[in-house]
Amino acid sequence: MEIEDLLSSPAQVMPRLKVSSKKQALQDLARRAGEITGVHERQIFDVLLERERLGTTGVGNGIAIPHGKLADVKKMFGLFARLEHAVDFEAIDEQPVDLIFLLLAPEGAGADHLKALARVSRLLRDRAICEKLRGADQAEAIYALLTDRAHSHAA
């Protein structure tokens, strides 16, 4: 599983998302994901909110990986956002979040869903790549950082 399998174009990067809360971030991500996948944004938002109720997807160090499974999603799908201003995401380290990698999977994805989560988590654990992501504000540059990294560090 490579990042390119999740992010197929710079259109799946939101380089300067302006939100003031976790809920607003999830709504805006659901809207963009809906536009790209054709799945209704409310379905996406509801599944993300349901997952957050089980426990935060704020994994620490300013990073969140909201995710969910939907019957209408046909293949693994990713969306990356760099927030203009960090927001409280109830992260495990209690730090605000400014980098979000949304992950949607088909309902029967099983192991592929877990592999994708692990791949994204490994990528975003790298402090150097996160610094570069925080310093970039163009979708193409962020996309290149995310996908070039995948070439040199295969899952």
Report, as residue numbers or ranges, the catalytic residues: 67
Q: Residues 69-99, buried b or exposed e (16+ Cβ, 10 A)? A: bbeebeebbbbbbbbeeebebebeeeeebbb
Looking at 38-110, list the stretches that DSSP marks H as alpha helix, in order from N- to C-terminal side.
Answer: 41-54
Question: Is residue 81 within a helix (H) or strand (E), and if so which, with residue range?
Answer: strand 77-87
